[in-house]
Amino acid sequence: MLISIDNVLTKTEVAQFRAELDAAAWIEGARTAGTLAKAVKRNQQIDDASALATRLGQAILRRLAETPLFISAALPRTIYPPKFNRYAGGGQYGAHVDSALMYLPGTSEQMRTDLSATLFLAEPDEYDGGELEVEGPFGVQAVKLAAGGMVLYPATSLHRVTPVTRGARVASFFWIESLVADEGERTLLFDLDQSIQQLTPLVAPDDMRLVQLTGVYHNLLRRWAKA
């Protein structure tokens, strides 16, 4: 399941992020890549331990906590602190699959990566190329969202970022461990929740059809969630 979420950040917030990121020191992204990924990763990143990355990452996490569509789709248990990258001058990231387990920074605690997320911080007309291509059961989906928009997709997916031939593609990226590990179960819960949300304004709050559907949702979540 690939889901786009518009306006996670406002245009004003994106401009504020970019003013700071554009003036920041960037390091080679290959430094943080695994053994195989080093060969296909050509980008730049902000030092994860920097005060800037920490502060902007926390702002993103606060906004995600207020974004119902994200909560419905991800059912987050743990979110890896957001990171920031930049692709320019032919920069790209070849086909790869994200690591299944990651240590949370500064701890000995591991998290499972169920979902990957990219939050776009550059408008599509600012750069050529730079599409996020995600392979799935129905072929390859190319994603290039407006600044402030975010895409969620299974971390199990083979994916890549195509070469940026003009301008710069700036984004935040991170991973989510979901309360519901199984993608199929999570998709069913998302579809059911969205149907309930669409029905809610159309019927009375005590309409038994809505009450029963809501009960089914929570009982399935109770069955499948691993807290």
Q: Is 159 annotated as a binding residue?
A: yes
Between the CA of residue 152 and those of 15, 143, 157, what are the distances in Å? 22, 10, 11
- Give the integer Cα–Cα distance in Å for 87 and 167: 9
- What is the average per-residue pLDDT within 61-86? 98
Q: Which amino acid is present at 36?
A: L
Least trusted range by pLDDT, from 30-34, 101-105, 141-145, 182-186 = 30-34
Segment (H or E) for 197: helix 183-199
Q: Is 218 annotated as a binding residue?
A: no
Specify the 3-state DSSP secondary structure of 122: coil
CA 75 vs. chain centroid, Å, equals: 13
- Give the integer Cα–Cα distance in Å for 14 and 70: 18
32 has pLDDT over 80: no
33 has pLDDT over 70: no
The answer to whether 150 touches 73, Cβ cutoff 8 Å, is no
39-55 confidence digits (pLDDT tens):
799 999 999 999 999 99
- Give the integer Cα–Cα distance in Å for 27 and 114: 27
Q: Is 169 annotated as a binding residue?
A: yes
93-133 confidence digits (pLDDT tens):
999 999 999 999 999 999 999 999 999 999 999 999 999 99
Return the structure tokens found at 3. 């889901």
195 has pLDDT over 90: yes
Q: pTM here?
A: 0.94
Looking at 158-220, which runs of residues are DSSP E strands? 159-161, 164-178
- What is the average per-residue pLDDT within 173-184? 98
Phi then psi for residue 124, to 5 deg, are -55, -30
Mean pLDDT score across all residues of the chain: 95
Q: Is 125 annotated as a binding residue?
A: no
Return the structure tokens found at 105. 């920074």
Domains and CATH numbers, the chain: 3-178 (2.60.120.620), 183-224 (4.10.860.20)
Structure confidence at residue 34 as a pLDDT band (50, 70, 90): low
